[in-house]
Amino acid sequence: MEDWILGIPTPVAMALIALIGYFLGKRNHRPVSAEQAYARRELKRAKAIVKQLEEISREVRRNLASHQSSIAHFKERIVLMSSHENETGESWQTLCEEAERMLSPTMRLSAQIANAYDEVRQQANLLMTFTESRTDPLTGLSNRRALDDSLESLFAMKDRYELTFSLCILDVDHFKKINDEYGHLEGDRVLQEVASLIDNCVRETDVVTRYGGEEFVILMPSTDLAGGLIFAERVREAVEQRLKVTVSGGVAQASNTDEPQTLLARADSALYRAKSRGRNCIFCHTGDCVQEHPASDSSAATLAHENAEELLEEVRSLEKMLGQRESDKAASHQQKQAETV
């Protein structure tokens, strides 16, 4: 006689249990969503910031501990001299020499603390990009306010330590057409995809912001103009290959005469040239003039070559068609002559 479980035959019950287990397992192993992937990247970035702050703190503590020992020794010498008022000028000379020896590490410590202050300030600006008031709600990237704070910090570091950095503006090509033809929801989805791709291409120390509309600004510390161009071209190629849109870009390196607005203006002028050039390319502002990135130029040359080949093929086809038409016309003329005769 067949066994029953809860009024159901045992084989049927076991099959149902296996089926339920299969669907539960499939549900638990579902692919990681875009939101989860973004959260993991942000968590990784936060850990890097905390690690940097810990290293700065350890360095300052180590230097302070060493300097505190020198101060304690110097203080003991002063107390000892005070208790022997009849000491000769020789002891005073020795004390002056010790003070001179301690002056150099004291000045070094002062510079290190100032440097640590600037580094902590820079890391604090990176931490501020996690706050809601400095985050773009659509893309999850930093917003214009976070960009202004980060630019101020990078210019302060540049002025104090001559640390270079570059700025890149990327703009989604024909974005208005996307909104007009497919609606704003599709436009928002495109912006989110582009933002996610850019965020995957940058380093942990870079700052990615949504500058406004379909424009994105990337700050790249310790990066010269050549490095900024390499990054921008890499993003341009990735967008072209993986997404259904293209981007144009303008890159500029901060100079000694720059301030935040002038640096943004130079990168924006390079972007404008890329747009007028035909889009899907990268231009840079060297400080003196605007130039096209060589890789973009070679891409344009390749495209021109392909267009020329297509045009040549069309000409050949047209010549063939005209030749056939002349041949048919001659044959028709001969036939009429034969009929007349």
Confidence of residue 339 (pLDDT cuts 50, 70, 90): low
Assess whether pLDDT exceeds 60 at residue 54: yes
Q: How far apart are CA 196 and CA 138, in angstroms?
A: 11
Confidence of residue 1 (pLDDT cuts 50, 70, 90): very low
Residue 104 within any structural domain of the chain: yes
CB-CB contact of 234 with 218 (8 Å): no
Q: Which residue has the higher pLDDT, 71 or 121?
A: 71
Residue 135 within any structural domain of the chain: no
Confidence (pLDDT) at 305: 42
Q: Which residues contact 96 (CB under 8 A, 6 or more apart)?
A: none
Instruction: Please tell me whether residues 120 and 164 are part of one structural domain.
Output: no
Which residues are designated catalytic?
214
Instruction: Please tell me whether residues 17 and 46 are part of one structural domain.
Output: no
Confidence (pLDDT) at 60: 72
Residue 185 within any structural domain of the chain: yes
Range of the domain at 26: 1-30
Instruction: Please tell me whether residues 150 and 265 are part of one structural domain.
Output: yes
Last residue of a domain, one of 106, 128, 150: 128
Tally the C-alpha atoms within 13 A of residue 194's C-alpha that lie toward its C-beta: 29
Instruction: Please tell me whether residues 25 and 155 are part of one structural domain.
Output: no
Residue 179 within any structural domain of the chain: yes
Confidence (pLDDT) at 59: 76
| pTM of this structure | 0.58
Instruction: Please tell me whether residues 73 and 210 are part of one structural domain.
Output: no
Confidence (pLDDT) at 268: 97
Which CATH number covers residue 245? 3.30.70.270
Confidence (pLDDT) at 85: 57
Total of domains in the chain: 3
Residue 146 within any structural domain of the chain: yes
Instruction: Please tell me whether residues 111 and 39 are part of one structural domain.
Output: yes
Confidence (pLDDT) at 138: 92
Q: Which residue has the higher pLDDT, 247 or 319?
A: 247
The predicted-structure confidence for 195-250, as pLDDT tens digits, reads as follows 999 999 998 889 999 998 999 999 999 999 999 999 999 999 999 999 999 999 99
Residue 330 within any structural domain of the chain: no
Q: How far apart are CA 328 and CA 331, in angstroms?
A: 5
Residue 339 within any structural domain of the chain: no
Instruction: Please tell me whether residues 74 and 161 are part of one structural domain.
Output: no
Tally the C-alpha atoms within 13 A of residue 272's C-alpha that lie toward its C-beta: 8
Confidence (pLDDT) at 188: 95
Assess whether pLDDT exceeds 80 at residue 142: yes
Instruction: Please tell me whether residues 40 and 19 are part of one structural domain.
Output: no
Last residue of a domain, one of 79, 108, 128: 128
The predicted-structure confidence for 163-188, as pLDDT tens digits, reads as follows 899 999 999 999 999 999 999 999 99
Q: Which residues contact 80 (CB under 8 A, 6 or more apart)?
A: none
Instruction: Please tell me whether residues 285 and 187 are part of one structural domain.
Output: yes
Residue 172 within any structural domain of the chain: yes
Instruction: Please tell me whether residues 175 and 120 are part of one structural domain.
Output: no
Mean pLDDT of the chain: 77
Percentage of the residues of the chain whose pLDDT score is greater than 70: 55
Instruction: Please tell me whether residues 22 and 40 are part of one structural domain.
Output: no
